[in-house]
Each structure stands twice: as C-alpha cells, then as structure tokens.
Amino acid sequence: MAASVALLTSLLTLFLVKQEKPSKQYSMLRREIETIKKSQRQLINTLQSNDQSDLQPGSYTGTAFAISKEGYFITNYHVTEGSDSLYLQTPSGKYQKAIVVAYDKASDLALLKILKANKQTVDVPYAFAKSKINIGSSIFTLGYPDEEIVYKEGYISGKNGFEGDTMQYRLEMMAQPGQSGSPIIDSKGTIIGIIAGKDTELDGTTYAVSSSALMRLIASLPSEVHINLPKINKLKKLSREEQIKKIQACVGVLQVYKSKS
C-alpha cells in the first residue's frame, strides 16, 4: 500500500516549466505572517487533539477553493512554492492537511488534495467557464486577506493579463495580500478565474489566471487521477447574497509552513 501511495504521489508531481514574472510592477498576493513557528511535531500533535485553537499561523497564507467533491482544491503555485507543509483552514475553523498533487508554474496554479477528506464532502455549487468571458463583465471574489472571509467586486478590464499574458485576465478590482488563490466569479455564479497578483503602479488593477488554464492543468493529469468537475451551476438563479452563502463554504485559508533558510 505504501509503495502504491508513493508511486501515485510521484506520478502526480508535474510541470516544472517556464519562468516567473520578475517585475517590481507585479506583486503576488500571498500574506506574510510574522510569528514564532511551531515545529512539525507540535503541529501534528495539535491537529490530532480535539482543541485546535492554539495552532500557530503559517509562514504565510493564501486562499484556496474546492473544485470537486473528492477533496481537490486550487490555489496559486507561488503560494505553495518551497513549502514544508500545507494546512487548509475551513470556514468552521478546522484544519486539514493538504498536499500539492500537480502544478503549472507558467500559469501559477497548484492543485491540492485534502488528506483524509471527510466523508461528508463539500457540495461544490458552481461550474467553471471553459473559455474567457467578455470585457466589461461584472465579477466578484471571496478570499482571505484577513482572519475572516472578505467579499469584493469589480469588472474585467482586459482579456489578457500582465504584459499581455493570454492565460490571465486584467481586472479592475482591489486586492490585498492573502487573496492569492481566491475564485473570480461572474454574475451567474460561474468560476472564470483565480486571483494571482496585482499591479503596483496602477491602483485597483488586479490579475487573475483564467479558468481555461485550470482546465488544461486537469486535462494533463495522469489517467490514474480522476477529478470530476461539477457540470451543473446551482447558483445561476440565486441572488448575490445567496450565491455568497453557498460559495464561502467552499473557500478556505491555506496556511503555508516553511522552514527558515
């Protein structure tokens, strides 16, 4: 069994490709945490206890959201890069250990799997856009720039992202550190992208990886991996307030633990 798990983990580690965005004008949005880090053993002991209230924050945080009921989540590659361990904090305050099963450095996406996923799996109420939507479309997001989930809204101002990146959108919407990995959602409740960074020279300009890049990542997975993306959008006819209530149950804080170099 252990050999099978090791083999699967090996098969799932993908995509050492292309370069990052080496520009002072482009700012990634993971949130740095200044605190004394717990050791891995202390962390495990805390997670195994009934009281998780004293779990220390990670080195930094991002946002991740569910893409299937099997316990798969998506976030940005730059959030997970170089991490020793990852823990997803759900809206209820519980922590679940996560691993990176695949990533695409070029598009800045990392696919996560929650270990020992609860039998009561998350109901993923949204669908994913297979192609880009139009400039001017209204969008909103839910993420964790702070301790609590935050709602923000804006619109698509460009079909391509930073320096013409065709895998991104350009958005007019305020974003803060901690929102990397947050879903971008259209008015019908369809996921159209994932927040990745902001422009430091243009106030309010944010960049998001398009959902089509996520589709390509999933399509490139080994045949042994089966991710069933939701096909029905259950949010289409709901009010914005009702959409938010359902979406926020699928969005969590990704605590990233990294040893000091």
Give percent above pLDDT 90 in the chain. Answer: 61
Could you give the domains of the chain? 30-118+251-257 (2.40.10.10)
Rounded Cα distance between 83 and 73, Å, is 16
pLDDT tier, 91 (very low <50, low <70, confident <90, very high otherwise): confident
The predicted-structure confidence for 166-190, as pLDDT tens digits, reads as follows 999 999 999 999 999 999 999 999 9
**pTM for the structure as a whole:** 0.80
Rounded Cα distance between 132 and 166, Å, is 10
The tokens describing 64, both together, are 């991740």
The pair phi, psi for residue 203, each rounded to 5°, is -60, 125
| Residue 229 contacts residue 67 (beta carbons within 8 Å) | yes
Given this model, what pLDDT does residue 26 score?
65
Instruction: Please report, for residues 9, 45, 125, 162, 211, the alpha-carbon distance to residue 257 in angstroms, rounded to integers and kept in the order given.
Output: 20, 15, 30, 28, 27
The tokens describing 258, both together, are 């990294």
Given this model, what pLDDT does residue 23 score?
58
- Is a pLDDT exceeding 50 seen at residue 2? no
